[in-house]
């Protein structure tokens, strides 16, 4: 959790790059990662017998850092959700470990849905704007958030990015989170759904190794099916592992590279974009 891993440290520079001008904006102070958070960390203590980091509240009470951080995040996430709903925007939070093929999946999705659904992307990475550049080349509007040492996106970062990119009414907003299957499970961004992407090259046991993440998602995409035979991937075992931790998860087996299986995924996105 971020109270112990250090990714919420105020010294960690969080920035956002404007998709139109290329201007980089430092978000730390604007997103609450400045003086107030520094104040909280100065009061961080670990007392004998405690099993979680905590801080002292304004009345001297002990507040677990997890509750304090997530409570603040959840309030902003609720505001984001209202903002999206008020503009008829469907937001999906795409999570995975590094290298699963999230960006390639989005590139292929953008090309397949071109002319049908307006799709915008918030890209989250520790450094570089490489993925946002790829998304724009694929034909969608994108904005890049660089989290520095941070291992996930938070609701306040998404709030600033969403307002800057200004998705059209009736559109899909894809939030590509930082590659990490731990912290993003706990941070609500205001999305309608979390979607986990795993790849055949990672093996079948990711869902049982990272159960908190796979319990938090509504969909699982198994990517790189074109490589399944080459890496001895057992699709049935992977599906069973997903069902063990989340029996209600929708599962899509695709190859974002070849396009196999992508039509079913795109059909589901069309359903989400069309409001009753």
Q: Is residue 49 part of a domain?
A: no
**Least confident segment among 9-13, 168-172, 266-270:** 9-13
* Matching residue, tokens 């920035």: 15
Does residue 212 lie within any of the structural domains? yes
pLDDT in tens, 106-153: 999 999 999 999 999 999 998 989 999 999 999 999 999 998 877 899
**pLDDT, tens only, 57-74:** 444 444 455 666 778 999
What pLDDT score was predicted for residue 10? 52
pLDDT at res. 13: 66
| Position 60 in a domain | no
Task: Name the burial class of residue 64, with classes exposed (0-12), middle (13-18) and buried (19+) by CB atoms within 10 angstroms of its CB.
Answer: middle
Whole-number pLDDT of residue 58: 47
Share of the chain above pLDDT 90, in %: 68
Number of domains in the chain: 1
How far is the C-alpha of 97 from the C-alpha of 198, rounded, in Å? 7
Token representation of residue 30: 């604007």
pLDDT in tens, 21-53: 666 666 653 444 433 333 333 334 344 444 444
Domain assignment present for residue 53? The answer is no
pLDDT of residue 212: 95
Instruction: Return the sign of the alpha-carbon dihedral for residues 66, 67, 69, 70.
Output: positive
Residue 104 lies in a domain: yes
Residue 221 lies in a domain: yes
CATH code at position 174: 3.40.50.300
Using DSSP, state whether 217 is helix, strand or coil. coil
Is 57 a member of any domain?
Answer: no
Domain membership of residue 250 (yes or no) is: yes
Share of the chain above pLDDT 70, in %: 76
- Domain that includes residue 145, residue range: 89-273
Pairwise CA distance, residues 43 & 49, whole Å: 18
Tokens of 168: 């059209």
The model's confidence at residue 159, banded by pLDDT at 50, 70 and 90, is: very high
Contact present, 171 and 117 (Cβ < 8 Å): yes
What's the CA gap between 269 and 262, in Å, rounded? 11
């Amino acid at each position: 959790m971020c109270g112990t891993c250090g990714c919420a440290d105020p010294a960690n520079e969080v920035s956002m790059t404007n998709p139109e001008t290329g201007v980089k904006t430092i978000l730390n102070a604007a997103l609450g990662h400045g003086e107030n958070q520094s104040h909280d960390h100065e009061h961080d203590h670990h007392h004998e017998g405690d099993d979680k980091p905590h801080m002292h509240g304004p009345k001297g009470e002990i507040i677990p850092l997890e509750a304090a951080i997530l409570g603040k995040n959840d309030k902003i996430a609720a505001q984001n959700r209202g903002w999206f709903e008020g503009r008829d925007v469907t937001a999906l939070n795409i999570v995975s470990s590094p290298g699963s093929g999230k960006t390639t999946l989005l590139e292929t999705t953008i090309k397949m849905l071109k002319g049908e659904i307006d799709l915008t992307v918030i890209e989250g990475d520790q450094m570089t704007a490489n993925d946002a550049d790829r998304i724009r080349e694929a034909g969608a509007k994108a904005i890049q958030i660089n989290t520095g040492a941070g291992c996930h996106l938070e609701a306040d970062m998404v709030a600033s990015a969403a307002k800057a990119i200004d998705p059209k009414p009736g559109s899909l907003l894809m939030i590509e989170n930082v590659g990490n299957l731990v912290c993003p499970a706990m941070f609500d961004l205001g999305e309608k759904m979390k979607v986990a992407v795993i790849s055949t090259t990672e093996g079948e046991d990711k869902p049982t190794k990272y159960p908190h993440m796979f319990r938090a998602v509504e969909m699982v995409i198994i990517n790189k099916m074109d490589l399944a035979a080459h890496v001895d991937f057992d699709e049935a075992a992977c599906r069973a592992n997903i069902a063990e931790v989340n029996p209600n998860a929708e599962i899509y087996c695709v190859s974002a590279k070849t396009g196999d299986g992508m039509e079913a995924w795109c059909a589901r996105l069309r359903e989400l974009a069309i409001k009753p």
